[in-house]
Structure 1
Amino acid sequence: MAEALPNKKKKILTADEYTKICSFINNYHGLAIDCEMEMKYRQFLDIEPLALTCIAQMEHFNRAKRQHWKHEQRSRKLLKTFEELCEYGNKDNILIIRMAFAENMNPIALCRILLQEKYDIKQKQQISRYLKFPHLIDDPRLAANVQQCVYSDNQDGPLTDLRRRIIGEEYEQKLKSLANQSGIHFYDEQDLRRMGFDKTPDIKIILPFLYKNAVVNWIESKANFGDPKTHKWNIQQQLQSYCNRFGPGIVIYWFGYHVETPNLPDNDIGITVLADFPDNEDLVFMKLITATDVTETKANSGAETKM
C-alpha cells in the first residue's frame, strides 16, 4: 500500500488569509521569534512556514520603522534602565531581551539604541561592527547581552543577514539547476556583468521561449513572499529595468505570493509572477535549424519533385 503524501502547505494566499496573518503579527506582544513559532505550530498550520517567516519579517520591519523615532527619543531612559538593572545585581545575559519583550521591540533594535546612546555613535557602520564583533564593546555586561541578542533575534542582526543571504543563494542555484534540467540555455549574473551589464536578472535566456504563450527572456529568483507592496518595490528597483533592456520575463517568489500580486497593473510591462519553476509542459522552445535539417529538407523536396 502506497504511503499517503503529506499535505502541501499553501503558498498562494487570499486577501483574507494574508490580512489575518498580518493582524496576528501586529497584535502579538512579545519577541518576534516567539510570534513566528506561534504562527507556524499553532495558528496557521496549513500555510507554508517560509511564507509566514517572510510576512513576519516584513511586518516587524515596517513596525520598527514606524516606531524608531519614538524609541530614539527614549534612548537615554532605556540606557539608564539597563544600567540600573546591572547595578541591582542582575548577572544574566538576557537583560536586553527582557527589556525588548517589555517594550515590544526586536532585541537587536534595542541593542542599536543602547550602543548609540552609550558611545554617542553617529555612524551606522560602527554600530554594525559592534553587533558583528560584540567582544569589541568595552562594557563586559553590555557585550554579553549584545551577543545573546545576536543569537536570539530572528529578524535582525549579522546572523540573520547571513542566513537570508545563504537562502537567497540556495534558491538561485535551484533556479539554475531546474533551468538546466529543462534544457534552457542562459547567461547568469556573472556572465552578464562580464558583458558590461550592471543591473542583471539571475538568468538571462539566450534563446527566448514561450510560457503559456508569453515570451520569456529572463527569470528572477526571489527567496521571499510576494505581497503587493514588496512586488511593486521590486518592479521599481529591478524588474522594470530588466523589461526595458531584455523584454518580458518571469519572477519566482519561491515562498509564495498574495493572490492579487500576479494581477497588478504594474505587471503589464511584461512580468509574469510564479511561485515555482514553470512546468515543462507549459514551455515551448524554438527549434533551431541545423545544417543536417537543411540537407534533409532539400533531399525530401527533391524526392517529392521526382515523384
Structure 2
Amino acid sequence: MDKSDTTKKKILSNVEYARICQFINGFNGGLPMDCELEMVHRFFTDVDPLALSCILQFEIINKARGQHWRQEQRAKNLLKTYEDQCHLYSDNSLLIRMACVEAINPIALCRLLLQEKYDLKQRPQVSRLLKHPYLINDSLLAANVQQCLYSDNQEGSITDLRRRLVGEEYELKLKHLARKAGIHFYDEHDLRRMGYDKTPDIKMILPFLYKGFVVNWIESKANFGDPKSHKLNIQQQLYSYCNRFGPGIIIYWFGYHEETAQLPDNNIGITVLTDFPAREDLVFMQLTEPRAQETAQTLQ
C-alpha cells in the first residue's frame, strides 16, 4: 500500500525544510506539477517524494492566501486577456499558459475568471462550474477549464478525490497493521455509534505501552507534519482525544519536520511517528495471570 521509497528521508531538519520551501517559492518554470517533478527527480532526490508533494501543497496554499486579494483585483484584466487571445489557440491551452505566466494555480485562475465573467458572488456557485465544466455556456472556456482540471495537481475535484482516497488508504493500512500486531480496537464508526463526536481513527479497547508510554488511540495522517499544521491538528483534534481518552500516537505517514515531535504542545500525551510502531516496542496487558494459566492447563 505504501508507495513511498522507505530509503528516502521522512524526518527533515530545519535547514532541509527551509531549502525545499525556498525552492518552491522561487520556482518559475511552469505549473506546480512541474515544480514537484523537478524536486523529486533533480534537486531533492534523497527526500521521500510524498513529503515533497505535501510541502509543495502547504506552500502553495499559504502563497495563495497571501495573494488572494491582489489576484481578485486583477480578475477583470485577466478575463480581458483570455477573451482577447482565446481564439488564437486550438488546443484549449490558453488558461494553462496564462497560469504559468501569472504563477497562479490553473484552477485558481479558472475560479477568478468564472467569478468575473458570470458575476458569481458565492463560492459554491463557482465550485459547481469547476466540478462540471459542461455547465459553462461558453464552450471554449469550458474546454479550457476542463484542461485545467486535468493539469492542476493542487486544486480541483480530481485532486480532492485523489487526496480523499489516499487518506482512506492509509486509514485502512493503520487498521491492517494494528490487527497484525494483535491490537483490539474500536474504529471511528464504532465510537460514533457509542455517542462520541470527535474520534481518533482507532481507539484501543485495552491500552498498550509504546517504549514505556501508554497508548490509548492512534490517529492517521496521510500528509507531512510541519509544526504549524501539527499545532492546528492539536487544537482541532488531538487535544480532545487526550482529554477524553488519554495519551496516544499520531502517525504522519509522509514524514514530519524534526521540530514537530519536540514541540512542548505534545506534552499533553502525544507521540509523533512516521510509521506504525515496531512490534518489539509494544507491550500488551496480560489479562490472565501466569499461575492461573498453569492451573487451567493442569486441569485439562
TM over 0.5: yes
- TM tier relative to shorter chain: over 0.9
The aligned counterpart of 1:92 is 91
Q: Aligned equivalents of 2:11 and 2:278: distance in 1? A: 17
Would you say 1:232 and 2:226 are equivalent positions?
no
Shift of 1:289: 2.0
Q: Which residue number in structure 1 is paired with residue 212 of structure 2?
A: 213
- Counterparts of residues 150-169 of structure 1 (less than 5 Å): 150-169=149-168
Matched ranges for 1:1-307 at <5 A: 8-29=7-28, 30-87=30-87, 89-289=88-288, 293=292, 296=295
Question: How much has 1:26 moved relative to structure 2?
Answer: 0.3
Coordinate RMSD, CA, aligned: 1.8
Question: CA deviation digits over 1:211-248, x for unaligned, max 9?
Answer: 01100000000000001011001101111111111000
2:194 and 2:23 mapped to 1: Cα distance? 47
Provide TM-score, normalisation by structure 1.
Answer: 0.92
Q: How far apart are the structure 1 equivalents of 2:185 and 2:286? A: 16
Aligned length: 294
- Output the amino acid matched with 1:238: Q
Mapped to 2, the partners of 1:81 and 1:119 lie a distance apart of 16
- In the aligned structure 2, how far is the partner of 1:168 from the partner of 1:127? 26
SS in 2 for 1:101: helix
**AA at the equivalent of 2:233:** N
Structure 1 segments unaligned to the other structure (5+ residues): 1-5, 301-307
SS of match in other structure, 2:204: strand
Give identity over the alignment, percent: 67
Structure 2: segments with no counterpart, 5+ residues: none
Question: How far apart, in 1, do the equivalents of 2:260 and 2:202 lie?
Answer: 22
Task: Tell me the CA shift for residue 92 of structure 1.
Answer: 2.5
Amino acid at match of 2:136: I
TM norm structure 2: 0.95
Distance 1:144 1:10, change over 3 A: same
Could you tell me how far apart the structure 1 residues matched to 2:16 and 2:155 are? 25
Residue 279 of structure 1 deviates from its aligned partner by 0.3
